[in-house]
Structure 1
Amino acid sequence: MATQNTFPALKNDLILRAARGDRVEKTPVWVMRQAGRYLPEFREFRKQHDFFTICRTPELACEVTLQPIRRFDLDAAIIFSDILVIPQAMGLTVEMVPGKGPHFPQPLQTPSDLARLKLPVDVNQELGYVFKAITLTRQKLEGKVPLIGFCGAPWTLMSYMIEGGGSPTLSKSKAWLYAHPDASHQLLQSITDVCVEYLEGQVAAGAQLLQVFESHAGLLGREQFLQFSLPYLKQIASKLKANLQAKNLPIVPIIVFAKGAHYALKELSDTEYDVVGLDWTMEPREARKCVGEMVTLQGNLDPCALYSPKEDIRAAVKKMAEGFGSQRWIANLGHGIYPDMNPEHLRTFIDSVHEFTQQEN
């Protein structure tokens, strides 16, 4: 594995400075799912390669990661992978079904099914392909922009493992929280332990920034979030930073993105995460009042706003920039970009962020 001083020198550190609260000359911008189905070059790539084959093949994952960086003036790359590689590493089969999304043929149904999980997980053996992809991508980026690593958060991963795929209600997994709280905590802790090791491995491999995706926070009430999500999110940040320090690895900034968790914004800002991501339902000025001036925010344009005419996109970005201000802000969408999006509309979004935030300085 490459050591940190063997990577090319970083030319654009805007996003790292913004994450740490240093002054920036313009707002950095990246987009969740920026490497993916909205790009024609990715769709061509997928005709030749299965989704998880791309994830598990470092050369393929690297190529897909670089596709949006070649097209757009982005300030970060994010490694091409999937949050569900952790359930796979824990012994569950996950398939990516065209037109449907992820599918678990044998989801967890009762607490007795926890015995099926392969624990503890040998992260280097089971997820080493991600580490290799990160190291290769750091080299291939040639220092143009930083590389983001990521994982799914424990509650979100638990819900997939029980639901067997996507669900509008998460009723099966929420039932566990009410009917089997002890087993739920046991599963959440097992996932958390893997997340910490996995993110540590990503930093050792060359990731310069990390994001934890709590994509299913919005279907929890505040009480459930504080009991079954937040403690494990806090563990990830605190244990990871302690481990990195103990092993003399870089203490990289960490973003937490809890979609729909407007009810816990203050609690999220009081954790050891450096950046709190906002979905599009949160108003930037109100979020800033809630978290204070010492937390960097990320977000949060409605992804559907990119269906607008380009002039309307520019106006929406200008309004968003006025709401966030030019400092302690990383521009992004409020969730991932949709697969039928026009790439040129994304270009308008990215270029407008740089234009309007640079004008303020």
Structure 2
Amino acid sequence: MDASPAARPSDAPLVRRLRGESVDAPPSVWFMRQAGRSLPEYRAVREGTSMLESCLMPALASEITLQPVRRHGVDAGIFFSDIVVPAKLAGLEVEIVPGRGPVFASPIRTRADIDALPPLGDATEEALAPIREAVGLTVAELGATPLIGFCGAPFTVASYMVEGGPSRDHLRTRALMREDPEAWDRLASWVAELSGRFLRAQVLAGASAVQLFDSWVGSLSAEVYTRHVQRHSAAVLSAVSDLDVPRIHFGVGASHLLREMHAAGATTMGVDHRMPLDEAIRILGGDVPVQGNIDPAVLFTGEDARYAEARAVLAAGASAPEHVVNLGHGVPPETDPAVLTDLVAFLHAQSA
């Protein structure tokens, strides 16, 4: 993965496509959650180490980020982290419970809870040192292959903090927005500043693009998103807007929010598998680069169905200024790694 002296990640076809530049090259592809439980080498290297510990051990986080690039030949690494890592670094008591997900010891439910959140400043920047080190180690190994930085969007992260852990309907969070919008804004602003610092640290350490990931935003209407959430996501993306890196915005089940999420400051929109890619391109006005959106279910079908889906996604993406291939959500942990490797090779063999 070493680069020649002239090769730079910012010139890589994937990064240029994220910028909307025309590229004469085979399709570019990476997968959300490509680093993780689907890889036996990941399970081996993580043995005996908790998820959050792994994220904060620079050499280990770097190795996990690099594993799928080595194995699958994808066109970018995605920084191995978790959306609650910034909260952990800020001093909140949070753990990722196996089989459940992130759990906060003290949910944020009142104005007093919000008042008690740690201040963000020099100590926050010092706490980000393991992130900067991990990114630096990774980009040194990747060479000309770009690294994509990552963080969770304010709505999803704040929802975990309010609910205390995973939630099916986010009722407490949505109730807080309505009952005390000022308190919600203060909480979301705190998360946005923290996430922005986290994202900026990755770019300054060498990441060539970023993705803002909103797992739960699909539960909101466009009106609620615009009124209560959009400006906070915009604050995160604006934290790196002066650094000239493409900014991908992706939400799960958020096809009805494509315009609103793009307006938060994204340069590229990720599209999940629930909407045809050409329809998303039309909704966005035909001038926005897109990422997506192979249905992860085809990873469990035969080759004929899988390759037909890949060809259909490539054809649908052709109407955008540029298109980076990805899944419509993350790699399921039960995925056979050989299927992903073969899918990458198939995509690279197609005409641009």
- TM category (shorter chain) comes to over 0.9
Give the structure 2 partner of residue 323 of structure 1: 316
Counterpart for residue 202 of structure 2:
202
Offset at 1:177? 1.0
Which aligned pairs between 1:8-19 and structure 2 lie closer than 5 A?
9-10=7-8, 13-19=12-18
2:230·2:264 contact (CA, 8 Å) conserved in 1? no
- TM-score, structure 2 length as denominator? 0.93
Q: What letter corresponds to residue 311 of structure 1 in structure 2?
A: D
* 2: CA distance, partners of 1:208 / 1:254: 10
Q: Structure 1 residue 318: deviation in Å?
A: 0.9
Pairs within 5 Å for 1:68-79: 68-79=68-79
Contact 1:278 1:334 in 2 (8 A): yes
Runs of 4+ in 1 over 4 A off after TM superposition: none
Gaps of 5+ in 1: 1-6, 245-250
The answer as to whether partners of 1:237 and 1:254 remain within 8 angstroms in 2 is: yes
TM-score normalized by the length of structure 1: 0.90
Residue 263 of structure 1 pairs with residue 262 of structure 2: no
CA distance in 2, matches of 1:146, 1:72: 15
Q: Which shows bigger deviation, 34-43 or 89-98?
A: 89-98
Q: Distance in 2 between matches of 1:300 and 1:321?
A: 9
Q: CA deviation at 1:239?
A: 4.2
Is 1:226 the counterpart of 2:220? The answer is no
Q: Distance in 2 between matches of 1:346 and 1:47?
A: 23
Paired residues in the alignment total 345
Shift in Å, 1:41: 0.8
Task: Judge conservation of contact 1:149–1:199 (CA < 8 Å) in 2.
Answer: yes
- Alignment-derived partner of residue 96 in structure 1: 96
User: Which structure 2 segments of 5+ residues have no match?
Assistant: none
Aligned counterpart, 1:310: 303
Task: Describe the superposition over 1:270-328 as per-residue Cα deviations: whole angstroms up to 9, x where unpaired.
Answer: 44321100111111111111112321001111212211112211111111111111851
Residues 318 and 352 of structure 1 are in contact (CA less than 8 Å); yes or no, is this contact kept in structure 2? no
State the distance in 2 between where 1:52 and 1:100 align.
14
Deviations 1:87-125 (A, max 9, x none): 223332111212222211221122221122101243322
Report the CA distance shift for 1:116/1:89 in structure 2 as closer, same or farther (over 3 A).
Answer: farther
Asked if the contact 1:160/1:166 (under 8 Å) is kept, the reply is yes
Partner of 2:247: 254
Question: For 1:116 and 1:270, how far apart are their aligned partners in 2?
Answer: 32
Residues 1:155 and 2:149 aligned together: no
| Partner Cα separation in structure 2 for residue 206 and residue 8 of structure 1 | 16
Deviation at 1:183, TM superposition (A): 0.3
Distance 1:353 1:229 in 2: 36
CA distance in 1: counterparts of 2:338 and 2:108, whole angstroms: 42
Separation in structure 1 between the aligned mates of residue 70 and residue 127 of structure 2, nearest angstrom: 30
CA distance in 2, matches of 1:180, 1:272: 26
| Corresponding residue of 1:44 | 44
Question: d(CA) in 2 for partners of 1:54 and 1:238?
Answer: 28
Residue in structure 1 matched with residue 340 of structure 2 by the alignment:
346
Cα distance between partner residues in 1 of 2:34 and 2:239: 29
RMSD of aligned residue pairs (Cα, Å) = 1.9
Q: Write the distance in 1 (CA, Å) between the matches of 2:157 and 2:48.
A: 28
| Separation in structure 1 between the aligned mates of residue 139 and residue 239 of structure 2, nearest angstrom | 25
Aligned to 2:136: 135
How far is 1:351 from its partner? Answer: 2.1
Asked if the contact 2:231/2:264 (under 8 Å) is kept, the reply is no
Trace 1:43-62 onto structure 2 (pairs within 5 A). 43-62=43-62
Residues of 1 paired with 2:21 and 2:255: CA distance?
26
Task: Report the Cα offset of residue 341 of structure 1.
Answer: 0.9
Report percent identity of matched pairs: 36
2:249, 2:262 within 8 Å by CA — same for their partners in 1?
no
